[in-house]
Amino acid sequence: MKPKTKVSKKDEKPWAGRFRQPMAKSAEAFSSSIHYDVKLYKDDIVQSIAYARVLQKSQILSVIECKKIIKALESILKGIESGHIKLRSEFEDVHMNIEALLIERVGDMGKKLHSGRSRNDQVSTDLRMYLKNEIFEIIALIKKLQSTLLDTAEEHIKIIMPGYTHLQRAQPVLFSHHMLAYFEMLERDKTRFKRVHEETDVMPLGSGALAGTSFDIDRAALAKELDFSKISRNSMDAVSDRDFAVDFLSAAALLMLHLSRFAEELIIWSTYEFSFVELSDQYTTGSSIMPQKKNPDIAELTRGKVGRVYGNLMALLTVMKGLPLAYNRDMQEDKEPIFDSAATVRSVLAIFSEMLSTAKFNAEQMGKAAKKGFLTATDMAYYLVKRGVPFREAHSIVGKVVAYCEESNMEIEYLSLKQLKEFSEFFTYDVTRILSAESSVASRDMPGGTAPIQVKEAIKHARKNLTADKA
């Protein structure tokens, strides 16, 4: 039997007892995650403090040992937060760094803290704690953007603009109604993140590596101290589950989709061709060669950052798709997508609120656009339907009216009754009352419609619900 190669204490790993050679430096560097999972340091320390108390109740730690360990952990937390303590790459990840720092301070009693705990249930618990806090922050930022949308809608309640399908002018709508469409998208996003929070609010700690623990750990008390509402029911599932992380990335992707659609419209509207909005100088840039340019860079970056969030979702789905139970080292790759998406979503939501609140919307230009493009043609068809003309026939009649107007280079509302009667005898003197953008908008007076009375009520209802939402 070959003798063991001597391993220095500096290089020794927690699992070194079984190994004859130290880990290659290249393998250490390849497998290290400390450069990104350092974000979990606070969650890991808070978890460890709670775990120390449970170990003391289980008589694995004495009262004195527990107090010393907690005091040392609190000191480490302060040291990291102040910048006096730097985590070291040779300790592989944040968990091993903190354990090493603890042992430096309290000696061998610090090694007792890992009793009954594996990095498998430890890291899953840390990640869930981290994500719960991120979700709260994201929901708060969604609510802020929703409030900005309501302010914008309320301030511009009289503006009429073209509504579009296929990016072609379709029917006139209130600009405020258009803004409220994005409010509703964000409302669904908010609901999704709340559901993700509920799925994340399950504590895996106590599951050990995969089979649970034989120590008398009070998991319910531990969950309560760590502010989890539930504990996991199966130890193998608990350490290998990343559904909550996929759900988070999925919710983030949909939120970014909605913000990208909004950004796209602001980009289009800010062109000279539309001139519906002027974005503030604070959230635009110029050109290094063309002096006249004012580019909507913040909106464009919002649109562009969607790609990285989509990519993060696909990355984690791909990591998880072929893994056997229970924990596999592949799952170390879960954190960077989560950290990146959380940071991206927060930054985009924050700056989008600023950009929207400083934007100037051009009521005159929107109003002019709403008067061109035969936007009240559908109102004319409905007028005929109310007089007994089958809709398909009414549609055909109005189509011919539009074709005539195009050939004559005029808008529908300027046609005389005599001209209209050439297309149908069902047109009478009152037809001219329904052909303006204002009358078209006012006629959509039902819940969910674009009539001013409905939109004002929708703003009021949304504001009330937003204020009452304490999540």
Which tokens in the block code for residue 116?
Answer: 């009954």
Collect all residues with Cβ–Cβ distance below 8 Å to 127 and sequence separation of at least 6.
Answer: 40, 43, 245, 334, 335, 338
Residue 287 bears catalytic tag: yes
> Counting runs of H as helices and runs of E as strands, what totals does the chain give?
18, 6
Residue type, 249: L
Who's near 196: CB < 8 A, 6+ residues apart?
Answer: 131, 135, 244, 247, 248, 251
H or E stretch at 27: helix 25-31
What's the number of CA atoms in the CB half-sphere (13 Å) around residue 99?
19
Tokens 């999972």 belong to: 37
Question: For residues 377-391, b (16+ Cβ closer than 10 Å) or e, as one string?
Answer: bebbbbbbbeeebee
Q: Are residues 38 and 92 in contact, defined by beta-carbon separation less than 8 angstroms?
A: no
Find the helix or strand (DSSP H, E) in which 164 lies. Answer: strand 160-165
- Please give the backbone phi and psi of residue 342, each rounded to the nearest 5 degrees, phi first: -60, -45
Alpha helices in 358-436 (DSSP H): 363-370, 377-385, 391-408, 417-421
- For residue 448, what are its two tokens? 């969910």
How far apart are alpha carbons 211 and 326 in whole angstroms? Answer: 9
Catalytic member of 31, 62, 229, 287? 287
The answer to whether the CB of 259 falls within 8 A of the CB of 349 is: yes
Bridge-based pairing of strands 202-203 and 230-231 is parallel
Per annotation, catalytic residue among 8, 26, 166, 214: 166
Say what the alpha-carbon torsion angle 177, 178, 182, 183 is, to the nearest 10 degrees. Answer: -20
8 Å CB contact between 87 and 32:
no
- Where in the sequence numbering do the catalytic residues fall? 166, 287
